[in-house]
Amino acid sequence: MELWVLFTAAVIAVTILVRHFFFNQVEQEVKEEPIEEELIENKDDPYTLEELSKFDGKDGRPIYMAVSGTVFNVSSKPEMYGPEGAYGLFSGKEATRGLAKSSLKVEDLQPFGSKEGLTAGQLRTLADWEEYYKERYQIMGHVVESK
């Protein structure tokens, strides 16, 4: 009888300890998330197209690209935006027209940042991409004609 009571007490004690440990872990994870997000602050620096072109991921440089005049830091995906990446043509560039036209042709990017001649559908595609980038990447600033 005594042994049975001891065994039950031990099982309860272990259950409480395990639950306590598990919930502490979960709580810590939940608490840590917003702190990490806060560290990545958006900026609002001006970039000319020439300045932007230096952020091309070559020789270990960061990778920036602009969508509708907003400059994003896409360095977290070098496999896509690096010199060898499928979307490397957007690096250091105003990608507006390429994204709107769903085109990966370098010539389709020009005139850089212009929305002239884009159809309503292309403008909608562009707006969707803008949202996509805003949800995923740090904003570094905006494109300016000159300084």
Residue 27 vs 128, nearer CB to ligand HEM: 128
Tokens of 86: 């499928």
- Of the two residues 109 and 143, which places its CB atom closer to ligand HEM in the complex? 109
How far apart CA 126 and CA 98 sit, in angstroms, is 9
Site for ligand HEM, rule CB under 6 A: 74, 77, 80, 87, 98-99, 102-104
Residue (71 or 99) nearer to ligand HEM, CB: 99
- Least separation in angstroms between residue 77's CB and ligand HEM is 5
Q: Cβ of residue 99: shortest distance to ligand HEM, in angstroms?
A: 5
Least separation in angstroms between residue 122's CB and ligand HEM is 11
